[in-house]
Structure 1
Amino acid sequence: MTWPLLHIPVQQPLAAHYIEHQSSVIQSLYEFHPDEDVEKRAEWLDGAEHLRADRSELAQVLRRYNQQMNNCPAVMEAIDRLVQSEALVVVGGQQGGLLTGPLLVIYKAVSIIRMAQEAEARLGRPVVPVFWIAGEDHDFDEVNHTYVLNQEPAVQRIRIGKPHDLRAPVSHVKLEVSAWESVLAEVEELMPSTEFKPALMDELRQMAKYSTLSDAFAHMIGRLFGEYGLVLIDSADPAIRKLEAPMFQAIIEENDSLEEAYAKSEQDLRTMGYTPQAERSEHSANLFVIHEGERQLLHKENGSFVDRHRTLSWSKAELLNKAGGCPQELSNNVLTRPLMQEFLFPVLATVLGPGEIAYWAQTKQAFRTLGMRMPLIWPRMSFTCMEGTLQKLLVKYDLTAEDVIHHYEEKKELWLKSQDELHLDDRFGELRHDVDARYRDMLSVLNDALPALGRLGETNHAKVLEQIDFLHHRAKDALQKQHESGLRQWERLKVTLHPNNKPQERVLNMIMYACRYGEGWFKPVMDAPVVWKGEHRLITL
């Protein structure tokens, strides 16, 4: 199989420059060069074992969780390998979205696995792939929906309801059976009848037995990637929280220094002409506390840690005690999560999307404040799926995928114009020009001889031209109706390759491909050559 590249530029400027390996960006805002410093990073990790959690205790927690969600022999073997002192990790993650969320989540898992395999071959030592499920995040609206194509085809949203309005971590939100049943009914109706649909629906009913989105997500990701040894971790797992207690204490103890560190990195960003990706309010502690089921961001005020409403307050000593005794009541934000990952795992590299690459630049000095170093950052691999029927349509209309993505309206209008054997635009253009010119001549004569008719003449002139334009538009509408079948094919290309005017991987869900091609629909992607500069590839299913 060939893997043609698609030109889909990265919109985030800093991420684009990092992916292009601009040396000034890498040296100033990041720690290690993604290609040149792999061995250097591994060597640094070998000397920093004392900074991390105990491997055996971590493996015990991971084994317990994965036995419940991802109980595959290859996963258990990967966890056993992690205990070895020379083992390293490639990690990446996402919130656990409905039905796994957009396709980019699948591609991130693929990237983690393939890049770990490549790193292991390069270094000659174990490199374990780890997927970090961000179950501690509370933005339920971000993960409660996904998009598929209906039969028209058009993009259609599937959404699951939330039983309450608490700002609770997603992994703590218990979903009602009726909510899952509603989702399954909608999927059943939307998915076409294929040989794979019964098995897909059976699998989705298994997923619906889980009470949270995070657990259902873990089940589906484990089902897809367990055979490749992908280890899962839910950041909201209470057992993980217990291991994280020392790092929570370090973050609290050094909070003022960390605030200065984030500010220093952000100043470095601005000096180089970039805007910090992650918003950080002044005196933010960059930690959340879980209080009465809700996740509350902490700020520092008059020597205390308070919530945004100033109804909750802890002294530094009290918060340190909470970290030591009840760490499950604390939670990281996007700027302290990288530090926590570094504490838990010997992270050779983290696999990130463009937005994540940008906000990680705000953490360089924070890593150093805690005696750590930011890991290698590898851009995740990107793909657009091309089905055989779409390929035939591209050939039929003499298009490329990039034409559809970047020049759709222009190309469609040219095609429609080529179908116009009556040459409507030319004929009506000539008619309008002739009528306009002759009317102006007539108005000139009337204005000289009968000035009282001037205004009436101008009004009538405009109405005549308006009627010509009206008939022109009606004729074009009739032409479009005559070619309605072809235009539907054009629309199918558009909504499939660039839905909602966005890259396919950021919108569509995988179940439409699983329904058409079976559970292993993504396996050709596992054979794609590993790329390191964020290249976007076209994959034929």
Structure 2
Amino acid sequence: MPTDCIPFRATNYFSDFICDYLDEKPELKGLYHRFPTLENFKKQIEEKALSFTAEGRKILVEALKRQYTNLETSEVTAAHIESLTSDKTFTITTGHQLNLFTGPLYFLYKIISAINLSEELKRAYPEYNFVPIYWMASEDHDFEEINYFNFKGKKIRWNSQQKGAVGQFNTNGLHDVFEVVSAEFGTGKFAEQLKTWFKTAYLNHDNLADATRYLANKLFGSYGLVIIDADDSDLKRQFIPQMEKELLEQTAFQEVSKTNETLAELGLKIQVNPREINLFYIGDNLRERIVFEADQFKVLETDISWNKDELQKHLNDFPERFSPNVIMRPLYQEVILPNLCYIGGGGEMIYWLQLKSNFETQGIPFPMLLLRNSALIKTKKQAEKQGKLEISNEDLFLDRNTFINKRVRKISNIDIDFSEQIKHLEQQFEDLHKLAEITDKSFLGAVKAQEVKQLKGIKHLEKRLLKAQKRKLKDQIERCTDLQGQLFPNGSLQERNTNFSELYLEFGDALIPELKEVLKPLSGQFSIVTI
């Protein structure tokens, strides 16, 4: 299976912030603990081993076994769960929202990155065990972000009026979505498999968390993936000390605000801003912020309130009712897992890079941060068409106008690149400027005006000729833009738009194994894969 790679920066789809992190720019080194290289994992293992207790491992394993009670579990996943009781076992974690039918393709890339890194670490450090973890974002409440998936240009949506933590949403109403899905997937062996997965996941399970766990397990259980739902009373109880510190001392707000000031000084875009209290209160159809006002802790949009003593008692009695927001969720993860590395997308990496000082204040080791694998998947037919059209991989990533202009210049039998003429003209006017300077400086303004006029004229002429050639070469250009449109739906990266079902209909059961074979988590490159 042919695979090419290009630097993330060359794609123009990743921020300078994340590209600077990948380049290990010195000014960012204070924002992370260790850069994710194979060699650096040794010290991370040693540090995490000192901070994670046997009791924490016991509680984690018991919680996972409960969550897997009614799920068909592969031997390797069961062994991974059991191995977490050992102080020689560590986790590699990725997280994702509970998007309908997995959402965009990068859901696959995140999990494959975690699986492949776990296997690579096992080869490098055979005396230890490494377990790939998928952390379900079951406590998120932004339903509009997850209630659909894209299929061949159509948005398949689940409409529901439920509120609160999405993992607790019941699956009522998804039968209607299944009818739509069945019609869209069509017929055939692979279509029937997709329908079976959708039907069993969403019609045979009572809530969205259970449905998502079933589907992720079907796709990746054979590789030993362990899926965790942290919306769990026993797991939350492990997090009480950190939640209490957050409620009473507003630790995260103070620490992350300082880091944000540093980022602003560096001219870097801040991904998230902390609140004074970075915890929600959850219940039936409820997930609302906790605030401190007039010497009372209150839940917004409700009548719920406590004084300090009442709050501490309530937290200890019902820790499951307290839910971390985006600032505190990473800390929660690292408290309840013997984790070494978090794998996420560019946006996730940036907000993790805002959090290191809060981890230090809480006394929790900061994990290594790895940008997930990214890929562009082409069919053999698309790759052949690209070759015939003589389009480079780098050109595919250009924005539409730049792509078209470059193609016109490449295939035109007329040279429409006036850069040499412009350069020559600029040199002539530079000489005129020098002449005016030593003869009569009052002419400098006139020379500059003439320069602007003539440069504008030649650039306008170049645009007109380019436009004329576009019309003349319309058919050839359309073939090029059609291919780019197939690979970059809606002008965006394929992985951020396309659902895995489209590719599964094309490649079937070979899709995930082939991706697993070529995606290298520590490569630091964007992969271009032909299947």
The alignment's TM-score, normalised by the length of structure 2, stands at 0.82
1:201 maps to which of 195, 201, 205: 195
Quick one: structure 1 residues 315 and 493, their matched pair in 2 at CA, closer, same or farther if it must change by over 3 Å? farther
Secondary structure of 2:271's match? coil
Measured after TM superposition, the shift of residue 357 of structure 1 is: 1.0
In structure 1, what is the Cα distance between the partners aligned to 2:510 and 2:289? 41
Quick one: structure 1 residues 308 and 110, their matched pair in 2 at CA, closer, same or farther if it must change by over 3 Å? same
Instruction: Determine which structure has more spread, i.e. the larger CA radius of gyration.
Output: 1
2:49 maps to which of 29, 46, 51: 46
Quick one: structure 1 residues 18 and 417, their matched pair in 2 at CA, closer, same or farther if it must change by over 3 Å? closer
Root mean square deviation, CA, Å: 2.9
Quick one: structure 1 residues 491 and 66, their matched pair in 2 at CA, closer, same or farther if it must change by over 3 Å? farther
Could you list the per-position Cα deviations for residues 516-539 of structure 1 after superposition, in whole angstroms to 9, with x for gaps in the alignment?
221341211111252436411011
Asked if 2 retains the 8 angstrom alpha-carbon contact of 1:12 and 1:358, the reply is no
1:304 maps to which of 272, 296, 302: 296
- Which range is displaced more, 234-243 or 317-326? 234-243
In structure 2, what is the Cα distance between the partners aligned to 1:512 and 1:356? 26
Report the residue type matching 2:34 in the other structure. F
Secondary structure of 2:183's match? helix
Quick one: structure 1 residues 243 and 390, their matched pair in 2 at CA, closer, same or farther if it must change by over 3 Å? same
In structure 1, what is the Cα distance between the partners aligned to 2:508 and 2:233? 35
Measured after TM superposition, the shift of residue 285 of structure 1 is: 0.7
Report the residue type matching 1:4 in the other structure. D
1:290 maps to which of 269, 273, 282: 282
In structure 2, what is the Cα distance between the partners aligned to 1:298 and 1:533? 42
Secondary structure of 1:4's match? strand
In structure 1, what is the Cα distance between the partners aligned to 2:34 and 2:346? 17
Report the residue type matching 1:133 in the other structure. M
The residue number in structure 2 matching 1:461 is none
In structure 2, what is the Cα distance between the partners aligned to 1:396 and 1:368? 55
In structure 1, what is the Cα distance between the partners aligned to 2:180 and 2:525? 35
- Which range is displaced more, 66-75 or 109-118? 66-75
Report the residue type matching 2:508 in the other structure. G
Report the residue type matching 2:336 in the other structure. L
Measured after TM superposition, the shift of residue 202 of structure 1 is: 2.0
The residue number in structure 1 matching 2:459 is none
The residue number in structure 1 matching 2:125 is 123
Secondary structure of 2:139's match? coil
Quick one: structure 1 residues 4 and 312, their matched pair in 2 at CA, closer, same or farther if it must change by over 3 Å? same
Q: Does 1:95 align with 2:90?
A: no
In structure 1, what is the Cα distance between the partners aligned to 2:399 and 2:254? 46
2:160 maps to which of 158, 162, 165: 162
Q: How many matched pairs?
A: 474
Q: How does 1:58-77 map to 2 (within 5 A)?
A: 58-69=60-71, 71-77=73-79
In structure 2, what is the Cα distance between the partners aligned to 1:339 and 1:211? 29
Q: Percent identity?
A: 24
Q: Does 1:137 align with 2:131?
A: no
Could you list the per-position Cα deviations for residues 184-213 of structure 1 after superposition, in whole angstroms to 9, with x for gaps in the alignment?
232233335444222222222212222333
In structure 1, what is the Cα distance between the partners aligned to 2:255 and 2:470? 62
The residue number in structure 2 matching 1:538 is 528
Q: Does 1:385 align with 2:395?
A: no
1:173 maps to which of 169, 173, 182: 169
Secondary structure of 1:530's match? coil
The residue number in structure 2 matching 1:22 is 25
In structure 1, what is the Cα distance between the partners aligned to 2:14 and 2:409? 33
Q: How does 1:340-419 map to 2 (within 5 A)?
A: 340-406=332-398, 408-412=400-404
In structure 2, what is the Cα distance between the partners aligned to 1:162 and 1:351? 31
In structure 1, what is the Cα distance between the partners aligned to 2:107 and 2:282? 27
In structure 1, what is the Cα distance between the partners aligned to 2:233 and 2:365? 26
In structure 1, what is the Cα distance between the partners aligned to 2:52 and 2:406? 63
The residue number in structure 1 matching 2:420 is none
The residue number in structure 2 matching 1:316 is 308
Report the residue type matching 1:48 in the other structure. S
Unmatched 5+ stretches in structure 1: 150-154, 426-472
In structure 2, what is the Cα distance between the partners aligned to 1:22 and 1:413? 34
Report the residue type matching 1:126 in the other structure. N
Could you list the per-position Cα deviations for residues 314-368 of structure 1 after superposition, in whole angstroms to 9, with x for gaps in the alignment?
2232222222111121101111111111110111111121111111122111111
In structure 1, what is the Cα distance between the partners aligned to 2:517 and 2:245? 42
- Which range is displaced more, 120-129 or 67-76? 67-76
Quick one: structure 1 residues 417 and 54, their matched pair in 2 at CA, closer, same or farther if it must change by over 3 Å? closer
Q: How does 1:501-540 map to 2 (within 5 A)?
A: 501-528=491-518, 530-532=520-522, 534-540=524-530
The residue number in structure 2 matching 1:190 is 184
Measured after TM superposition, the shift of residue 73 of structure 1 is: 1.6
Measured after TM superposition, the shift of residue 474 of structure 1 is: 13
The residue number in structure 1 matching 2:271 is 277
The residue number in structure 1 matching 2:448 is none
1:325 maps to which of 306, 317, 320: 317
Could you list the per-position Cα deviations for residues 198-248 of structure 1 after superposition, in whole angstroms to 9, with x for gaps in the alignment?
222222221222233332222111111111111001132445334444543
Asked if 2 retains the 8 angstrom alpha-carbon contact of 1:95 and 1:214, the reply is no
Report the residue type matching 2:142 in the other structure. D
Report the residue type matching 2:351 in the other structure. Y
In structure 1, what is the Cα distance between the partners aligned to 2:195 and 2:519? 32
Could you list the per-position Cα deviations for residues 281-338 of structure 1 after superposition, in whole angstroms to 9, with x for gaps in the alignment?
4xx2100001552101122234432234584322232222222111121101111111
Quick one: structure 1 residues 534 and 169, their matched pair in 2 at CA, closer, same or farther if it must change by over 3 Å? farther
Quick one: structure 1 residues 306 and 527, their matched pair in 2 at CA, closer, same or farther if it must change by over 3 Å? same
Secondary structure of 1:236's match? coil
Q: Does 1:217 align with 2:220?
A: no
- Which range is displaced more, 322-331 or 239-248? 239-248
The residue number in structure 2 matching 1:432 is none
In structure 2, what is the Cα distance between the partners aligned to 1:175 and 1:311? 29
Could you list the per-position Cα deviations for residues 399-444 of structure 1 after superposition, in whole angstroms to 9, with x for gaps in the alignment?
23432331544555676899999x9x9xxxxxxxxxxxxxxxxxxx
Q: Does 1:500 align with 2:490?
A: yes
- Which range is displaced more, 110-119 or 100-109? 110-119
Quick one: structure 1 residues 113 and 475, their matched pair in 2 at CA, closer, same or farther if it must change by over 3 Å? closer
Could you list the per-position Cα deviations for residues 476-501 of structure 1 after superposition, in whole angstroms to 9, with x for gaps in the alignment?
98996xx5xx7775454233311111
Secondary structure of 1:158's match? strand
Secondary structure of 2:195's match? helix
Measured after TM superposition, the shift of residue 396 of structure 1 is: 3.0
Could you list the per-position Cα deviations for residues 127-174 of structure 1 after superposition, in whole angstroms to 9, with x for gaps in the alignment?
11111000000000000011121xxxxx2211111143x3x1111111
Asked if 2 retains the 8 angstrom alpha-carbon contact of 1:244 and 1:344, the reply is yes
Asked if 1 retains the 8 angstrom alpha-carbon contact of 2:257 and 2:274, the reply is no
Asked if 1 retains the 8 angstrom alpha-carbon contact of 2:257 and 2:273, the reply is no
Quick one: structure 1 residues 368 and 417, their matched pair in 2 at CA, closer, same or farther if it must change by over 3 Å? closer
In structure 1, what is the Cα distance between the partners aligned to 2:472 and 2:45? 67
The alignment's TM-score, normalised by the length of structure 1, stands at 0.80
Measured after TM superposition, the shift of residue 10 of structure 1 is: 5.0
Quick one: structure 1 residues 13 and 307, their matched pair in 2 at CA, closer, same or farther if it must change by over 3 Å? farther
Asked if 2 retains the 8 angstrom alpha-carbon contact of 1:147 and 1:157, the reply is yes
Secondary structure of 1:67's match? coil
Could you list the per-position Cα deviations for residues 444-498 of structure 1 after superposition, in whole angstroms to 9, with x for gaps in the alignment?
xxxxxxxxxxxxxxxxxxxxxxxxxxxxx99998996xx5xx7775454233311
Measured after TM superposition, the shift of residue 62 of structure 1 is: 0.6
